[in-house]
């Protein structure tokens, strides 16, 4: 579904991405991880067309994303930090996004309903708590039944019940054949949700391995420990 061919991105003299190549297929759930400054955010923004690589190309369903921008309608994006228009109500936000998108299918209100957002639909977004804003953020990302989801720290700020609701939804979409790309520092979530780990370090793909392979090779039961052992063995 997504093919990344040797993309490089530099800011002034600093190289953020160095000849990154990846193939991400439908039905996969991929953990995109690495230390701060490793290039994760730049890579995700490149996939969304918000950052243009200096070299290389990105393809979505074999279409070059810089030549066919409508591919974005097939991606549900959940950013880590969302800035909603503060004087807009929850209901107005969803109506506005639906009108702007011009979506002709049946919207997916599963998370909207599961998070009981209808009960606060008249509240202004600026008056919502951080956790409630994150629920709105998640419900928006899943609203238009896309083929691919890019989720940046999706459970951050959510209470345990809401986090479980979201994780079940992510797994459901994966089972439906969607591509899921998740960036998170919460190893327990990645262990539940992902099948493959792409680890970035200093703008390079340090390793790209399936979770089962990581656990087997490291003789560990926990993903975090397996990753740590693998990194120590390679450095």
How would DSSP label each residue in 91-157? Answer: HHHHHHHHHHHT--S----HHHHHTTGGGGTTSBGGGS-HHHHHHHHHHHHTTT--SEEEEESTTTT
**Measuring CA to CA, how many Å separate 219 from each of 33, 39, 101, 223, 227?**
21, 29, 47, 10, 11
pLDDT tier at 233 (50, 70, 90 boundaries)?
confident
**Measuring CA to CA, how many Å separate 119 from each of 122, 129, 188?**
8, 15, 31
| 107-142: pLDDT as tens digits | 999 999 999 999 999 999 999 999 999 999 999 999
Neighbour-count burial of 225, counting CB atoms closer than 10 A to its CB (0-12 exposed, 13-18 middle, 19+ buried) = middle
pLDDT value at residue 232: 87
pLDDT value at residue 230: 87
Q: Is the pLDDT of residue 30 over 90?
A: yes
**Taking Cα atoms as reference points, which of 150, 19, 185 lies closest to residue 78?**
150
| 55-108: pLDDT as tens digits | 999 999 999 998 888 898 899 999 988 888 889 999 999 999 888 887 788 899
CATH number belonging to domain 2-234: 3.40.50.300
**Measuring CA to CA, how many Å separate 205 from each of 6, 7, 135?**
11, 12, 32
pLDDT value at residue 208: 95
| 168-204: pLDDT as tens digits | 999 999 999 999 999 999 999 999 999 999 999 999 9
Spatial contact of 190 and 223, defined as CB atoms under 8 Å apart:
yes
Which residue did the predictor score with more confidence, 231 or 170? 170
pLDDT value at residue 102: 78
Q: Which H or E run includes 30? A: strand 29-33
Total H helices, total E strands in the chain: 8, 10
| 137-163: pLDDT as tens digits | 999 999 999 999 999 999 999 999 999
How many residues are recorded in the chain? 235
Neighbour-count burial of 234, counting CB atoms closer than 10 A to its CB (0-12 exposed, 13-18 middle, 19+ buried) = exposed
Question: CA-CA distance, 129 to 141, in Å (whole number)?
Answer: 19
pLDDT tier at 12 (50, 70, 90 boundaries)?
confident
Per domain, the residue ranges of the chain are: 2-234
Spacing of C-alpha 185 from chain mean position: 13
pLDDT value at residue 40: 94
Has this prediction a pTM greater than 0.85? yes
Q: What angle do CA 151, 110, 23 make, to 5 degrees?
A: 30
Spacing of C-alpha 189 from chain mean position: 13
Do β-strands 29-33 and 179-183 pair in parallel, antiparallel, or remain unpaired? parallel
Query: How many Cβ atoms from other residues are within 10 Å of residue 149's Cβ?
Result: 22
pLDDT tier at 235 (50, 70, 90 boundaries)?
confident
Q: Is the pLDDT of residue 34 over 90?
A: yes
């Amino acid at each position: 579904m997504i093919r990344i061919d040797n993309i490089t991105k530099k800011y002034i003299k600093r190289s953020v991405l160095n000849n990154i190549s990846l193939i991400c297929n439908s039905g996969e759930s991929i953990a995109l991880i690495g230390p701060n400054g490793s290039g994760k955010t730049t890579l995700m923004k490149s996939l969304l067309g918000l950052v243009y690589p200096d070299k290389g190309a990105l393809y979505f369903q074999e279409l070059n994303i810089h030549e066919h921008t409508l591919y974005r309608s097939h991606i549900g994006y959940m950013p880590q930090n969302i800035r909603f228009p503060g004087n807009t109500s929850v209901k107005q936000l969803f109506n506005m996004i639906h009108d702007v998108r011009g979506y002709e299918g049946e919207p997916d209100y599963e998370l909207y309903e599961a998070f009981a957002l209808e009960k606060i639909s008249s509240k202004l977004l600026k008056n919502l708590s951080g956790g409630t804003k994150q629920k709105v953020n998640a419900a928006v990302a899943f609203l238009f039944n896309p083929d691919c989801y890019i989720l940046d720290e999706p459970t951050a700020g959510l209470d345990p019940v809401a986090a479980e609701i979201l994780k079940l939804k992510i797994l459901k979409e994966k089972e439906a054949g969607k591509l899921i790309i998740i960036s998170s520092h919460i190893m327990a979530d990645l262990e539940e949700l992902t099948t493959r780990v792409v680890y970035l370090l200093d703008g390079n793909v340090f390793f790209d391995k399936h979770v089962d392979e990581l656990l087997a090779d490291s003789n560990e039961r926990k993903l975090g420990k397996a990753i740590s052992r693998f990194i120590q063995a390679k450095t």
